């Protein structure tokens, strides 16, 4: 029987593809530990263990692991995604309300407007039209973020520089911090490649320029996310964010909101192309709910199967497949001592396909997320947005954007995988279907009459709607 990989072999595997560090048995682990040189790492892979680390004892594990912190430090500085303690709490209090669910009435029309531009472009493609579904979704989510974060401030040229630089950063950044595994302290400077430094310079210069322009305009009524951040004040001190903090938080929002949503949308189109039954059920729902018109925010609660499709895509391919923390003090779980400084890992990649937690864990079955499903799913077993105080601040934003996108595009198009293309999951901080996803778009006839009204005899109400 082959022996399990050593710490060094795991690190070598992980540098190529971080998910390769786990063998097949890991999908049944519950709480296990491994030694990585000077650090002990604990994998929390059961609902109880996740509840312990991210729920009841979250304060002991609120700090991101050195690997996460140092991989994003040049780009995000003290941005809330990688900060902790007082800085994190203050920033979270400022950012949360600005992208909160209550802001969706402002964001949703911008989302639909951007999605309709994609729809109109796809409508001009020859049948079937060749597209890179991953690139299309990445451009779309970047466009939506640009318009909501910057209002109309960001021109096409700047948007491309931003997207390319973020993507260059993700491509070249390492995901393992060898120095901290070898016992080197946090204050020791880390080395970053010329490509990383170049992409950071570009992103920061662009964001600084935009912020400075807005600061000079001094528009107190600016409703964009940047405008609101500029006008935000700390609840306790009354101080505004300084220029660097503002730039870091904008970088966080762009980074956190861009690839996560784009990758899952790409996975969704791929999964639907492999599952004609799910695709047909989705089409019935969008035709029934929307008739011949584009969706609005009011349709989102009715698009229940559409949401289930996206949720199932996030289960199989969680956009952030590994969440890792550092123990700020010693803790004990199930009589096992977790020393201060250990790494605690929660991996949605393993948890979401856990052999003991899911029926047919590797199958695409959106119906498990429907309200009538009898599959028992613990809220600590399904965590695409993480859980606990550090839960994704943009969850409502991302979910709404995705549902509007799937409904708008699936109402008029079918996407098929380009014949011969083999999809392979690749993890570069986020989990994506390789570097591109070649698909073919063809038009479908929504079940509506030419005037945009439902065909006679078809109910407008959603067959899966539970009021």
Site residues, ligand HEM (CB under 6 A): 80-81, 92, 95, 99, 252-253, 256-257, 260-261, 264, 314, 319-320, 323, 384-386, 390, 392-394, 397-398
Helix (H, G, I), strand (E, B) or coil at 317: coil
- Minimum CB–partner distance for residue 260 and ligand HEM (Å): 4
263 closest CA partner among 103, 431, 390, 445? 431
Place of tokens 């613990």: 378
CB of 324 to ligand HEM, least distance (A): 7
Minimum CB separation of residue 191 from ligand HEM in Å reads 23
Question: CB of 314: closest distance to ligand HEM in angstroms?
Answer: 6
Q: Which is nearer to ligand HEM, 74 or 257 (CB)?
A: 257
Alpha-carbon dihedral of residues 307, 313, 318, 319, nearest 10 degrees?
A: -80
Closest CB to ligand HEM among residues 50, 256: 256
Return the number of the residue (278 or 393) whose C-beta is nearest ligand HEM.
393
**Which tokens belong to 277?**
């039954």
Least distance (Å) from ligand HEM to the CB of residue 172? 20
Q: Which residue is nearest to ligand HEM (CB)?
A: 394
Return the structure tokens found at 367: 């119906």
Burial bucket for residue 335 (CB in 10 Å: 0-12, 13-18, 19+): exposed
Nearer to ligand HEM by Cβ, of 165 and 264: the residue is: 264
Residue 230 near residue 240, CB atoms below 8 Å:
yes
How many CB atoms within 10 Å of residue 209?
A: 12
CB nearer ligand HEM, residue 224 or residue 260: 260
Taking the complex as a whole, how short is the minimal distance between the CB of residue 200 and ligand HEM, in angstroms?
Answer: 19
Q: Between the CA of residue 231 and those of 179, 238, 245, 315, 332, what are the distances in Å?
A: 40, 11, 13, 37, 44
Nearer Cβ to ligand HEM (382/385): 385
Q: How far is the CB of 351 from ligand HEM (least distance, A)?
A: 12
Cβ atoms of 68 and 373 closer than 8 Å: no
Q: For ligand HEM, give the closer residue by CB, 383 or 448.
A: 383
The DSSP secondary structure of 116-153, one letter per residue, reads HHHHHHHHTSPSSEEEEHHHHHHHHHHHHHHHHHHTT-
């Amino acid at each position: 029987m082959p022996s399990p990989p050593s710490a060094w072999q795991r690190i070598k595997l992980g540098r190529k593809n971080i998910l390769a560090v786990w063998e097949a048995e890991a999908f049944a682990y519950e709480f296990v530990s491994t030694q990585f040189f000077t650090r002990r790492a604990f994998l929390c892979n059961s609902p109880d263990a996740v509840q312990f680390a991210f729920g009841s004892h979250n304060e002991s594990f609120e700090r991101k692991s050195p690997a996460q912190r140092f991989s994003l430090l040049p780009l995000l500085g003290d941005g809330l995604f990688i900060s902790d303690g007082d800085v994190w709490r203050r920033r979270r209090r400022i950012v949360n309300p600005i992208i909160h669910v209550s802001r969706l009435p402002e964001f949703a029309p911008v989302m639909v407007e951007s999605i309709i531009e994609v729809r109109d472009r796809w409508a001009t493609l020859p049948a079937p039209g060749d597209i890179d579904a991953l690139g299309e979704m990445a451009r779309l989510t970047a466009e939506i973020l640009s318009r909501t974060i910057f209002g109309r401030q960001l021109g096409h040229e700047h948007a491309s520089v931003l997207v390319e630089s973020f993507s260059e950063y993700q491509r070249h950044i390492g995901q393992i911090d060898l120095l901290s595994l070898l016992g080197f302290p946090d204050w020791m400077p880390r080395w970053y490649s010329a490509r990383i430094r170049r992409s950071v310079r570009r992103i920061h210069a662009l964001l600084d320029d935009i912020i400075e322009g807005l600061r000079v305009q001094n528009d107190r009524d600016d409703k964009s996310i940047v405008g609101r951040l500029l006008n935000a004040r700390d609840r306790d001190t009354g101080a505004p964010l300084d220029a660097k903090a503002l730039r870091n938080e904008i970088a966080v929002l762009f980074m956190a909101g861009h690839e996560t949503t784009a990758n899952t949308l790409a996975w969704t189109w791929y999964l639907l192309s492999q599952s004609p039954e799910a695709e047909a059920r989705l089409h019935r729902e969008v035709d029934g709910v929307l008739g011949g018109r584009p969706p609005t925010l009011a349709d989102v609660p009715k698009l229940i199967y559409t949401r289930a499709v996206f949720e199932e895509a996030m289960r199989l391919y969680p956009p952030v497949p590994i969440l890792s923390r550092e123990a700020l003090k010693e803790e004990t779980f199930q009589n096992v001592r977790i020393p201060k400084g250990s790494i605690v890992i929660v991996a949605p990649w393993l948890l979401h396909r856990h052999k003991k937690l899911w029926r047919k864990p590797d199958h695409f079955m959106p119906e498990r997320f429907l309200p009538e499903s009898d599959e028992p799913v613990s809220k600590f077993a399904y965590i695409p947005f993480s859980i606990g105080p550090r839960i994704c601040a943009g969850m409502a934003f991302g979910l709404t954007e995705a549902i509007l996108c799937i409904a708008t595009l699936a109402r008029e198009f079918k996407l098929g995988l380009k014949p011969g293309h083999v999809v392979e999951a690749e993890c570069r901080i986020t989990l994506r279907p390789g570097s591109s996803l070649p698909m073919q778009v063809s038009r479908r006839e929504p079940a509506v009459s030419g005037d945009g009204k439902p065909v006679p005899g078809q109910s407008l109400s959603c067959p899966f709607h539970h009021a």
